[in-house]
């Protein structure tokens, strides 16, 4: 028998979440599978990167003051409570590392972001699934899953991949019912796309000791490639996360791009308007084609192919791929009869709809 290093039991049992985006980002692919900003990023970001005078041989600041200031003034927040990370993914991992002893429980919702259970397991915790109610987060089922071992609750609103959103009153009810010893993670990754009805998570953070808000530059701000996220934390949680975060996880170009994109309000407004137009327009076109959907509140929606008399999700997925159009396969999320479609450019949406129509009518 050969003797070799063996990963921990937890790591060996892990079903790794690796989104299949391909090895290189191909320019010709119409990628409607990753919930990115369909129209790219602020043109000022490119200019700033091209004209930058970043000293590439220097380590970056641990927390870039210009970036923190730009976030704080855009959303009227306290700079000392903003912590940036290598994507909000990093902050999800840090929260699990910080709050879970082996065997502790962390609740996530049934059709929720797959990084949550992965980060919980890697930290040695036990992921507990709170069933959704009709593809929507259920506060009652989260509460029903609480035990003395619960340390964290993860909740994305709007939720990925269902796109559904729960109301301010439901969030308030959850907060009232949750013990103050449990950290409530409000993952507001898609919040900038929502124009009404979403709780002000920052205010909730400011009036609590156990609520945190996560945000990202990968969606509306359109700089997913650079990996930049941020969170808003009560001071004690901030201090814990700051003490374990990798010192240089946000690189200097990401910090520069983050600051510039945060300051470009015109591009943010253009992105929201483009998204709103296509989220409505595409539903009209789906209705005409007889394609069922779960209407999303963010920049994506689920296409529902559960009807056994119609085409299957895998048929549609593979036929679209023949035309270089990629939607997201939902099997890893437990939704094999659905496909997730993100909003792309207007040209991409035109091509996608005409192609889908062609496949369905065949
Ligand atoms: C709900 C949710 N949270 C967090 C993230 C991760 O964002 P980031 O790119 O900042 O790591 C995503 C990305 O898809 C997401 O859907």
Q: Measure CA of the first residue to CA of the last residue in the chain; give whole Å.
A: 57
From first to last of the 362 residues of the chain, give the pLDDT tens digit: 789 999 998 888 888 877 766 555 566 899 999 999 999 999 999 999 999 888 899 999 999 999 999 999 999 999 999 999 999 999 999 999 999 999 999 999 999 999 999 999 999 999 999 999 999 999 999 999 999 999 999 999 999 999 999 999 999 999 999 999 999 999 999 999 999 999 999 999 999 999 999 999 999 999 999 999 999 999 999 999 999 999 999 999 999 999 999 999 999 999 999 999 999 999 999 999 999 999 899 999 999 999 999 999 999 999 999 999 999 999 999 999 999 999 999 999 999 999 999 999 88
Distance 5 CA to ligand 1 centre (A): 32
The pLDDT of residue 326: 95
Residue showing tokens 């479609």: 341
Closest ligand 1 atom to the C-alpha of 113? 1
Ligand 1 atom index nearest CA of 224: 9
**Residue 186 burial by CB count (10 A; 0-12/13-18/19+): exposed, middle or buried?**
buried
Q: Using the structure block, give the residue that is written with the tokens 């993914």.
A: 89
Ligand 1 center–CA 214 separation, angstroms: 9
From the CA of 218, give the closest atom in ligand 1: 9
C-beta neighbour count of 139 within 10 angstroms: 22
pLDDT tens string 335-362: 999 999 999 999 999 999 999 999 998 8
DSSP helix/strand/coil, 70: helix
- The total number of residues shown for the chain amounts to 362
Strands 300-304 and 338-342: antiparallel
Q: Strand ranges (DSSP E) for 208-291? A: 211-216, 229-232
Candidates 40, 35, 55, 88; CA nearest to 256 is: 55
Whole-number Å distance, alpha carbon 115 to ligand 1 midpoint, is 8
The answer, yes or no, to whether any atom of ligand 1 lies below 6 A from the CB of 216, is yes
CB burial of residue 154 (10 Å; 0-12, 13-18, 19+)? buried
In this prediction, residue 15 carries a pLDDT of 81
- Per-residue confidence (pLDDT) for residue 27, from 0 to 100: 66
Quote the ligand 1 centre to 319 CA distance (angstroms): 28
From the candidate CATH numbers 3.30.450.20, 3.40.630.10, 3.30.530.20, 3.90.1150.10, the one assigned to the domain spanning 9-40+266-361? 3.90.1150.10
Q: Which of 218, 220, 221, 296 to mutate for ligand 1's pocket (most ligand atoms within 8 Å of CB)?
A: 218
Residues 222, 226, 229, 235: what is their CA dihedral angle, to the nearest 10 degrees? -140
CATH of 43-264, one of 3.30.1390.20, 3.40.50.620, 3.40.640.10, 3.30.230.10: 3.40.640.10
Q: Would you state the pLDDT for residue 207?
A: 97
Separation of 88 CA from ligand 1 center, angstroms?
6
128 contacts 150 by C-beta, under 8 angstroms: yes
Cα angle, residue 100 at apex, residues 97 and 106 outer, rounded to 5°? 110
At residue 28, the pLDDT reads 82
> 229 CB under 6 A from ligand 1?
yes
89 lines ligand 1 (CB under 6 A): yes
* 87 within ligand 1 shell (Cβ under 6 A): yes
DSSP at 155: E
List the chain domain ranges.
Answer: 9-40+266-361, 43-264
∠ CA 98-257-195, rounded to 5°: 75
Q: Which mutation among 33, 89, 258, 261 tests ligand 1's pocket best, with the greatest number of atoms within 8 A of CB?
A: 89
The rounded distance, in Å, linking the Cα atoms of 277 and 280 is: 6
Task: Give residue 264's pLDDT.
Answer: 98
* Minimum CA distance residue for ligand 1 atom 7: 88
- Among all chains, which residue has been given the structure tokens 């009810």? 173
């Amino acid at each position: 028998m050969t003797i070799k290093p063996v990963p921990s039991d937890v790591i060996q049992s892990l079903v790794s979440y690796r989104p299949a985006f391909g090895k290189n980002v191909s320019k010709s692919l119409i990628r409607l599978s990753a919930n990115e900003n369909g129209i790219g990023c602020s043109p000022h970001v490119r200019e700033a990167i091209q004209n930058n005078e970043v000293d590439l041989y220097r380590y970056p600041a641990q927390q870039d003051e210009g970036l923190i200031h730009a976030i704080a003034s855009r959303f009227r927040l306290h700079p000392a409570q903003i912590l940036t990370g290598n994507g909000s993914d990093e902050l999800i991992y840090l929260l699990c590392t910080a709050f879970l002893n082996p065997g502790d429980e962390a609740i996530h919702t049934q059709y929720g972001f797959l990084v949550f259970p992965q980060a919980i397991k890697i930290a040695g915790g036990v992921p507990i699934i709170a069933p959704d109610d009709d593809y929507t987060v259920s506060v009652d089922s989260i509460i029903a899953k609480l035990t003395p071992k619960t340390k964290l609750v993860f909740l994305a609103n709007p939720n990925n991949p269902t796109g559904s959103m729960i109301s301010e009153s439901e969030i308030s009810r959850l907060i009232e019912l949750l013990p103050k010893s449990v950290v409530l993670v409000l993952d507001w990754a898609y919040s900038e796309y929502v124009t009404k009805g979403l709780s002000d998570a920052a205010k909730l953070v400011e009036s609590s000791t156990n609520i945190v808000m996560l945000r990202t530059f990968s969606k509306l701000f359109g700089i997913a490639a650079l990996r930049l996220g941020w969170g808003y934390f009560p001071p004690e949680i901030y201090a814990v996360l700051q003490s374990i975060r990798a010192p240089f996880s946000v690189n200097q170009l990401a910090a520069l791009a983050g600051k510039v994109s945060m300051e470009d309000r015109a591009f943010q407004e253009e992105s929201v308007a483009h998204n709103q137009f296509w989220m409505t327009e595409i539903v009209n076109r789906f209705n005409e084609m007889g394609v069922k959907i779960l209407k999303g509140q963010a920049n994506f929606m689920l296409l529902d192919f559960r009807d056994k008399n119609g085409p299957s999700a895998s048929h549609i997925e593979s036929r679209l791929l023949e035309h270089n159009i990629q939607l997201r396969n939902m099997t890893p999320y437990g939704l094999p009869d659905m496909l997730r479609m993100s909003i792309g450019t207007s040209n991409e949406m035109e091509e996608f709809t005409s192609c889908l129509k062609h496949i369905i009518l065949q």
